[in-house]
Amino acid sequence: MSRRFLCFSVFLLLASVPCFAEAPGVYAITGGTIHPASGPAIDNGAVIIRDGLIESVGSAVAIPLDATIIDVKGGHIYPGLIDAMTSLGFPSASAPRRRGGGGGGARTPPADALPETSPSFLAFREAKLTDDDVDAKRATGVLTIVTAPSFGIFNGQSVALNLGGGTMESRVVRNPATQQISFNPRPAWTYPDSLMGVISYIKQTLLDAQQYSAARTIYDKNPAGYKRPDESPSLEALGAVLRRDVPVVFVADSELMIRRVELIAREFNVRPVIAGARQGYKMGDELKSLGAPVLVSIKWPVAPTSREDREEQPLRVIRDRQLAPTTPAVLAKSGVLFALVSGAGKTSDFVPGIRKAIENGLSADDALRATTINPAKIIGIDRQLGSLDRGKIANIVITDKPIFDKEAKVKRIFIDGRESKVTVEDEKKKPGGAGTAGAGAATSGIDGSWSFVVKTTAGDASISATLHVESGQISGTFSGDRGSGSIGNGTFDGTTVEFSISGRGKEEAGDWLFHGTLHGSNMEGTVATTLGTFPFTGSKK
């Protein structure tokens, strides 16, 4: 009783004083509107949590005597959101990566020669989640993620994690959650360096997995008289995919890519999940008949900043950009099982991206399902997570307004029945952050005039550029050995810089993609060109 008394806290909208229990205890969350996701909203009910699990939910549940009462009067109670596809804990996909060797014989390299990832790659072992990553994610209401790297072709086996404290082992909800495949060509002169090569490579690897499984079956039954098959963790991992035990997330944004996925999935009889699906709005019925669930990335296409650039675009591109955010509404109408995921988007894009889907016709209820019970079903964790129901894991988010409202704030969160701190943005302001207002992390290091030298095989190319960063997006202009023009596709995350210039040199033409890191007033990295990839250095004037 005394504990109950001590911890009793009244939920005040702006000044809550939550208590953080050492161990999951017994809580009764009362006074708010409960949105169970598995059924209609319940006013003035209670959610009872005991030892990390939901004990009961409803309008007339008895409050256990040993429960700490958490009165969230006027608030809203949700299951923790699930972001079923992120790359949290892994570096960016666009970082240039190259394998040591180039040549190779006329034979297809085996799957295990993959440079970065492979089907046996375990996100569980390799993810490096920082406290900042986790804090930021939880502040959006996402308490469970499925993460895997976005680079490589076989991105490896993703893992579903609760974002509570503790070890990686204690966070795991499902491991492996999925096998993930991206259609990323490798750098030139490393097989496969074309999209068609990537497709052949995926098919060959799955054929190899079939053969491996057949060989192992025969050998394990009676090894006498047989040459021992080589061990292959990658082909072993793909065995689970071919047996349909583990679903395969195929990253495919365009209608054409989704159709290509369909062909591969049919040929090898795997369980496909389509991820990205930017052009899903064109194919609601088709996706329904395909029967594959869809992870719709909320990283919606962005219009070019300048008016001239927009007007130069063909109608097809403009239309596509404007219709992409209608994809969730179209899929909901067609009855496709889909979830909203951040995909390649930033943590801070997630909730605004969901709002954009709602503005484009998705109902708020469907949006909630698409971030709770649907992703849980797709990943196969719906018996544990995804709704406020008896027996499920107590991942709970409490907000002051309906969760996808523009002004809604996440006030309190429970993960595995333990209350975790919601990091308020004011506390996150980094010391000495001289960045522009609203931009958050230090972005000022990039702003200004730069001199770049690119060491190409045809000699050094000098380029001057003026760069400006706003909200992580780089814009600017360049001039020098490749003519002059504006800078596009620029991003900056605090250390990694990426932008491209298009122009014409003596030997070549086309886009040059800069990828570098910022060190004070210097930058270094590589430039991908049609002639190959070259090192560059930059210094601020």
**Restricting to residues 107-166, which ones interact with another protein according to CB under 8 A?**
107-108, 132-133, 135-137, 139-140, 150
- Hey, what are 13's tokens? 């909208």
Among 14, 224, 315, 434, binds another protein (CB under 8 A): 315
Check residue 35 for interaction with another protein (CB under 8 A): no
* Listed ranges 8-16, 33-41, 60-68, 191-199: which one lies at the site for another protein (CB under 8 A): 191-199
* From 220, 245, 425, 460, residue interacting with another protein (rule: CB under 8 A): 425
Pairing verdict, β 485-492 and 473-480: antiparallel
Q: Does 4 bind another protein (CB under 8 A)?
A: no
Given a contact cutoff of 8 angstroms between Cβ atoms, the answer to whether 355 and 404 are in contact is yes
Q: Is 63 exposed, middle or buried (0-12, 13-18, 19+ CB in 10 A)?
A: middle
Q: Please, which residue, 35 or 260, has the CB nearer to another protein?
A: 260
Of 176, 246, 236, 247, nearest in space to 211 by CA: 236
* Min CB(54)–another protein separation in Å: 28
Q: Residue 530's Cα: distance from chain center in Å?
A: 29
Closest CB to another protein among residues 223, 391: 223
C-alpha span between 142 and 82 (Å, rounded): 6
- Minimum CB distance to another protein smaller for 10 or for 263: 263
Phi, psi of 88 (to 5 degrees): -60, 130
SS3 482: coil
- The answer to whether 88 contacts another protein (rule: CB under 8 A) is yes
Q: What is the nearest approach in angstroms of another protein to the Cβ of residue 498? A: 10
Query: Is position 402 an interface residue for another protein (rule: CB under 8 A)?
Result: no
Contact set for another protein, span 272-311 (CB under 8 A) = 302-303, 307, 309-311
Residue appearing with tokens 């060959």: 204
If binding is defined by CB under 8 A, does position 508 make contact with another protein? yes
CB 475 within 8 A of CB 501: no
Chosen residue from 503, 516, 525, 538 binding another protein by CB under 8 A: 503
Q: Which residues contact 176 (CB under 8 A, 6 or more apart)?
A: 122, 123, 124, 157, 158, 159, 237, 240, 246
Q: Interface with another protein includes 500 (CB under 8 A)?
A: no
Decide: is 440 part of the binding site for another protein (CB under 8 A). Answer: yes
Closest CA to 180 of 52, 273, 245, 285: 273
What's the CA gap between 72 and 8, in Å, rounded?
Answer: 11
**Binder to another protein among 1, 14, 65, 106 (CB under 8 A)?**
106
Near another protein by CB under 8 A: residue from 9, 33, 175, 204: 204
Residue 352 binds to another protein (criterion: CB under 8 A): yes
Using CB under 8 A, which of 2, 43, 314, 432 touches another protein?
314
CB of 260 to another protein, least distance (A): 7
How many residues comprise the chain? Answer: 541
Chain centroid to Cα 276, Å, comes to: 10
Which of residues 421 and 428 has its CB atom nearest to another protein in the complex?
A: 428
Q: Read off the amino acid at residue 257.
A: M
- Rounded to 5 degrees, φ, ψ at 391 are 95, -15
The number of beta carbons lying within 10 Å of the beta carbon of residue 94 is 17
Least Å from the CB of residue 128 to another protein: 13
CB 396 within 8 A of CB 29: yes
Is 360 one of the binding residues for another protein (CB under 8 A)? no
Binding region for another protein (CB under 8 A) out of 103-111, 115-123, 152-160, 366-374:
103-111
DSSP run (H or E) holding 413 = strand 410-415
Cβ closer to another protein: 479 or 502? Answer: 502
Residues 226-255 that bind another protein (CB under 8 A): 226-227, 229, 254
Binding characters for another protein, 206-225, by CB under 8 A (x = yes): -xx-xx--xx--xx------
**Sheet order of strands, 142-147 included:** 81-86, 142-147, 159-162, 172-174
Q: Which of 115, 197, 380, 448 binds another protein (CB under 8 A)?
A: 197
Q: Which stretch binds another protein (CB under 8 A): 1-9, 106-114, 115-123, 384-392?
A: 106-114
The rounded distance, in Å, linking the Cα atoms of 115 and 220 is 30
Nearest approach, Cβ of residue 257 and another protein (Å)? 9
* 265 beta partners: none
Q: Which of residues 20 and 226 has its CB atom nearest to another protein in the complex?
A: 226
Q: How many residues bind another protein (CB under 8 A)?
A: 108
The two structure tokens encoding residue 240: 């689970």
Q: Is the Cβ of residue 307 or residue 541 nearer to another protein in the bound state? A: 307
**H or E element, residue 138:** helix 131-139
Q: Is 448 in the site for another protein (CB under 8 A)?
A: no
193 binds another protein (CB under 8 A): yes
Contact status: 466 vs another protein (CB under 8 A): no
